[in-house]
Structure 1
Amino acid sequence: MDALVVALAQYLPLLVPVAAAVVWFTLPTGAKVALAFQAVVALVVVAGLIQLAAALHTDPRPFVVDPSVVPLFPHPADNGFPSDHTALASTVGLLVLLHRRRVGLVLLLAGVLGGAARVLAHVHHVQDIVAGVAIAGITVAIAAVAWSGVLPRLRGRLAVLAAAG
């Protein structure tokens, strides 16, 4: 069971962006441009929000709080708040959700499952995971609003790309 928890905690958050890349290749040209733009904005925003949240709140990892707790894989004893892995994977899942609902929902759930596995692996607390998902929601909302501001300026260019592609 520990091996499954470790695999989910360490590798599931990495598989989410890989799956998102596959989805991106299947999108029509206009949606590809939209997702790429939103992803760039989201990357900048999520990185900033993670740093801000970590500066505002410190949450020592479970194995630091209680030395009798042993993490299931080696991890530095740094601030666990928020969960970077969960924030990033959930951001990707929510971005895909904007374009492919079912796949996006599966990727979002995978991000949350990866976060839950990190709790079970004793490298995060539940609040770290919840904060990661909340940061992802805020991030994707900002990216969607940014896209809606850029889209009117690109409509003509996207129409030309769609006709050519």
Structure 2
Amino acid sequence: MGASWQEPGPAPPASSEAAATLMRRTGRRDTRPELALRRELHRRGLRYLVDTTPPGTNRRRRADLVFRGARVAVFVDGCFWHSCPLHLHPPRANAQWWRVKLASVVARDRDTDERLAEAGWTVVRVWEHEDVVAAADRVEALVRRPHPVTTAVPTVA
């Protein structure tokens, strides 16, 4: 694995009390896009853990959905906080501060993807604006893909 499990870099503290309040109010789980994806995947018979750290990763970072057997971790990313290339409109007030803040979120996302991949997990990133059926199709294909069966081979002493 080589690389350490170090945070990529701290985000700057809030630029104002209004920004701090906005960040505190932003929910970490159960967003509308996440709930829609969960409903669609559940409707298809898939079962998952919600808002948890993928087992065996020894990380503080939590995935929105975790499929343990298939080793698939799903993140539903908001366009603003995760800097969607199609929909990000950075704030004009405190522009430099927001640039640093949002860049730190993207750096953390890439670091999370890398660390999970190193631990044998498949990471799926779904943008909040994506069609829920198309996103569920992507997730379902990965969760239901055939996995190699590992059997213990007895050793001869």
Scaled by the length of structure 2, the TM-score of the pair is 0.42
Higher relative strand content: 2
Higher relative helix content: 1
Scaled by the length of structure 1, the TM-score of the pair is 0.40
